[in-house]
Structure 1
Amino acid sequence: MKRKHTIVALSVGLALAGAYGSAFAAGEVTVTIGSAAPMSGPQAAFGQDNTNGVRMAINDLNKENIVIGGKKVIWKIDAQDDQADPKQATTVAQKFVDEKVNGVVGHLNSGCTFPASRIYNQAGIPDITPSSTDPKIAEQGFKTFFRIIANDNALGAGLANYAKANLKAKTVAVIDDRTAYGQGVADVFAKTAKKDGLKVLDREYTNDKATDFSAILTKIKSLHPDVIFYGGMYSQAGPMLRQIQQLGIKTHFMGGDGICAPELAKLAGNAADITICAEGGSPISKMPGGVAWKKRYDAEFGPSAFQIYSPYSYDGTMVLAAAMKKANSVDPAKYLKDIRNIDYNGVTKSDIHFLANGNLAEPTITLSKFDNGVKTVVAVEEVK
């Protein structure tokens, strides 16, 4: 009978080990970071780049053999395609909550981060966006939300100021795609342009699926603006630039970080050469760890994979890990406070820390132009 009890006890132990996985048996703990971005559709290049940044950080963390709470940590990524669709983003967010991920890096689009951040806040799961720039997200007051990049207030204003001071523009026309991001950055640009004394000749609207802008552009052509500003993504800006060229419109073209990617030149060809765009953060060459990091990124994913945000998604993942190490816990409820008090030496910035509303403290913006299809930095400015 004693032998029978031993066999039963052994069977129960094996069953428990199976239920909790190898981490239980080996004294390990698995930490899963959710990564949410459009992995399909017209913005897939951005989404894949974001995911690459998280994946690269996860690989680096696993090489460190980190111990938290007395257990070796096995780091994993759960990469989900939110299709740049707010409804799909909420489905992804709820999936992460149900699976009890330890933290989230995402979403890419402001329109996706906006509703998803509410779900994360209700569940107490920290989320760091590497790319959503709508200021209104932080205004919701969620304690779990963080942004590791400058917001649209900085981008839109920086572009308007540049149009006035450097392009000597006097008139502008503004178009946006009606998404939270596109409308937000366009509103800031238009407001700052008026404040700077520029005249906004026209305000037009499209959507983030459109490819034919001939009616809008024909109307704008008759107004002869010095600048056309587009609030939206490169997937629409590319064909829009081609149509500007076809219509013979003589102007400058401006937009935020949504258009400020190498993919723009692939879609627009030499029509992209009238473009000046702004992105939150510094160029790779000016980031404290940028050059060495980019070399590793290219070796792992190929040089054509890089767009804009992967260094920020990398640092976002590393900030989550740093907070867990500081708290000596992978429990979001215990390490959340340590994100708020973090001072992390990252690839993108040497002193990453956050304001009370989750915005990045002391961000920078970079203005670039396209010259023969190559994005070239024209100015780097600190946001005060």
Structure 2
Amino acid sequence: MSTSTVLGRGMATVCILGVSAAAAVGVARADEMVKIGEAAPVTGPASYLGKDTENGARLAIEEINQTGLVIGGKKVTLVFDAQDDAGDPRQATQVAQKLVDDKVVAVVGHMQSGSTIPASKIYSDAGIAQVSPSATNPAYTQQGFKTAYRVVATDAQQGPTLADYAAKTLKVKTVAIVDDSTAYGQGLAVEFEKQAKANGITVLSHDASTDKAVDFRAILTKIKGEKPDAIMYGGLDGTGGPFAKQAKQLGMTMKVLAGDGLCADDLAKLAGDAADNVICSIAGAPLLKMSGGPAFVERYKKRFGYAPVLNSPFAYDAVGVIIDAMKRAQSTEPAKILAAMPATDHQGVLGETQFDAKGDLKHGVISLYKYVGGKQALLGVVEQ
């Protein structure tokens, strides 16, 4: 994942804006211009999450340029190369190749697991560090690529946490599972199912939908006949919201368990009052409980005019991790940046970021939420 605002851009415009912004803050006399790539969906159903992801990375780069960056004795200006992968695996590989051709030194992205995983081979072949702010499918870092990193916990942590909560707190005995057939949704559902069975929960069914579905009445009618204690949905809020809403319309009042793709502040816009039936997880600490969270919120709101949505603090720190590696390497060469990545020990908005041998966080955090009157309320935080 586990996933509100939109826009698109072209590379020429981004370069011009990047240079103009640098000039405005007095660093245009830099000896070197260095491109940082970023990829997320800023069109399509997840566009508001993608824009939030892009904003987080953009804010980090603007602040670094304002402060000034010196690497190997040279003044460096960062140029933000943001690309739209539309949440589509095929487009994600095209975007990845474009970023490689643009000669970025590292990449923040992609946002979704279904885009991150296929793009990762292109970055691996090019020897460019890729730091995803939000891809949670365990497979991303299990491919053996030395270029793949993430600053978020995985579904191998998120799915079991949901299943444990279902068994131990909700006392669920039977569950029906539905996923959207994406790498994220299916991966989360599989991890949930494994732990649910280990906890003694009977899985009555596991159905597959799509990430473009709008009508779930056939699946839900079947599940209603199964009479589960709860339903687990693996997917984003664009489909999960209507899923929960239609379930309630059919008189199904059991809890809907979901991951971070569904766990948005404004879920009620899509689910209506059925949001109060949802319990969801986020692969990270609550923003205001992050060590740099409150200050980040204020800077983000001042820059963009609205509050962060979900992924922006992770994207912000993904940039920070890359620049930290650059500073330790005292080089802007992709190979030297990559070589410095394993020793990362970065203090940022999220707190401390360190990686294990695969590129996953050494210390992941999962937050659990419910909704009361359509408003998100924290249930608790589980440290992995």
Fold shared, TM-score > 0.5 on shorter chain: yes
Task: Give the equivalent residue in structure 2 for 1:355.
Answer: 356
How many angstroms apart in 1 are the aligned matches of 2:283 and 2:305? 23
Aligned-pair CA distance for 1:32: 1.2
The answer on whether the counterparts of 1:237 and 1:264 sit within 8 Å (CA) in structure 2 is no
How many angstroms apart in 2 are the aligned matches of 1:27 and 1:209? 46
Structure-1-length-normalised TM-score = 0.91
1:378 maps to 2:379: yes
Q: Secondary structure at the match of 1:303?
A: coil
Give unpaired runs (5+ residues) of structure 2: 1-18, 23-27
Aligned-pair CA distance for 1:339: 1.4
Task: Give the equivalent residue in structure 2 for 1:367.
Answer: 368
Please give the per-residue CA displacement for 1:229-265, whole angstroms capped at 9, x wherever unaligned. 0111010011111101110112000111111112422
Tell me whether 214-223 or 259-268 shows the greater mean CA deviation: 259-268
1:212 maps to 2:215: yes
How many angstroms apart in 2 are the aligned matches of 1:62 and 1:215? 53
Aligned-pair CA distance for 1:27: 5.2
Structure-2-length-normalised TM-score = 0.91
Aligned match for 1:280, one of 273, 283, 287: 283
Aligned match for 1:199, one of 197, 202, 221: 202
Aligned-pair CA distance for 1:106: 0.4
Task: Give the equivalent residue in structure 2 for 1:31.
Answer: 34
Q: Secondary structure at the match of 2:347?
A: coil
Aligned-pair CA distance for 1:371: 1.2
Aligned match for 1:338, one of 332, 337, 340: 340
Q: Secondary structure at the match of 1:378?
A: strand
Task: Give the letter for the 2:296 counterpart.
Answer: W
Task: Give the letter for the 1:323 counterpart.
Answer: A
Tell me whether 164-173 or 88-97 shows the greater mean CA deviation: 164-173
Aligned-pair CA distance for 1:197: 0.5
Task: Give the equivalent residue in structure 2 for 1:222.
Answer: 225
The answer on whether the counterparts of 1:170 and 1:198 sit within 8 Å (CA) in structure 2 is yes
Q: Which has the larger radius of gyration?
A: 1
The answer on whether the counterparts of 1:235 and 1:264 sit within 8 Å (CA) in structure 2 is no
Aligned-residue Cα RMSD (Å) equals 1.5
Q: Which runs of 4+ in 1 moved over 3 A?
A: none
Give unpaired runs (5+ residues) of structure 1: 1-20
The answer on whether the counterparts of 1:45 and 1:263 sit within 8 Å (CA) in structure 2 is no
Aligned match for 2:57, one of 45, 54, 63: 54
1:311 maps to 2:313: yes
Q: Secondary structure at the match of 2:226?
A: coil
The answer on whether the counterparts of 2:325 and 2:340 sit within 8 Å (CA) in structure 1 is yes
Aligned match for 1:81, one of 68, 79, 84: 84
Aligned match for 2:115, one of 107, 112, 117: 112
Percent identity, aligned pairs only? 49
Aligned-pair CA distance for 1:303: 2.9
Aligned-pair CA distance for 1:77: 1.1
Aligned-pair CA distance for 1:26: 4.3
1:323 maps to 2:325: yes
How many angstroms apart in 1 are the aligned matches of 2:82 and 2:276? 34
Count of aligned positions: 360
How many angstroms apart in 2 are the aligned matches of 1:274 and 1:302? 31
The answer on whether the counterparts of 2:128 and 2:334 sit within 8 Å (CA) in structure 1 is yes
Please give the per-residue CA displacement for 1:115-166, whole angstroms capped at 9, x wherever unaligned. 1010000000101000000001111010011010000011000000000111
Task: Give the letter for the 1:222 counterpart.
Answer: G
1:257 maps to 2:260: yes
Aligned-pair CA distance for 1:29: 0.9
